[in-house]
Structure 1
């Protein structure tokens, strides 16, 4: 098994396309923070090589805004990797604009639509305690 755990939490009131979009962006944040999450390249029976994907599961949970804010606070307290995604980022068109609207958020009450966490299994379990897996 793995010594670390990856959990992605998305807000339960988002449209399906928004949830998928947020999960995709959060997963890239996890890989950026911990490139060792990536497994080895895949090779098919014809010898064609394919790119690497995460070598460990990324569990996806759903919750309310309050759940995400609590998870954010606990993640910071436990000093695990935290990758937040805020609602204002839906209205931007590029990465620079994303960072600009993110910086305007109240750090104690972000309008989170998603958050990714990675760290020691026990720490992540405590941070996500009470959350349900995404249906």
Structure 2
């Protein structure tokens, strides 16, 4: 049905509220990176219009830090669209500060708490191989 796949990976040692926050931010990153994947707006029976959502499923996985880092490495190797979320971003108060703390991270050892991936199905499957769906 879809040529591409979307996977959102969140670190398994976070409190529930942080997991949900990270997944929400990652989903917006995928939507921004792939506006062509957005479906049509929703309209209810009375004609009220609502916003659009991504027109394909997004699977949510959980992983420890090494699992996230491995998925990130595979994602880079396979040139997938990626949106990372690092631990230091929890301490910021705005988007510009998020980019600053991300830039300060060691690219070979990102302290990831979340990662969104989008690309060809097989490539995304390779990146999430061995990870469990979020419970």
Q: Same fold (TM over 0.5)?
A: yes
CA offset digits 1:8-63 (Å, max 9, x no partner): 00000000010000001000110111111211011111111111011111100000
CA distance in 2, matches of 1:129, 1:66: 13
Per-residue deviation at 1:4?
A: 0.3
Q: Which position in structure 2 is the counterpart of 1:44?
A: 44
CA distance in 1, matches of 2:49, 2:96: 33
Structural mapping, 1:116-135, within 5 Å: 116-135=116-135
Question: After the TM superposition, which segments of 4 or more aligned residues of structure 1 sit over 4 Å from their partners?
Answer: none
Q: Which position in structure 2 is the counterpart of 1:64?
A: 64
CA RMSD between the two structures: 0.5
Q: TM-score, normalised by structure 2?
A: 0.98
- Where do 5+ consecutive residues of structure 1 fail to align? none
Aligned residues: 135
Secondary structure of the equivalent of 1:13? coil
- Where do 5+ consecutive residues of structure 2 fail to align? none
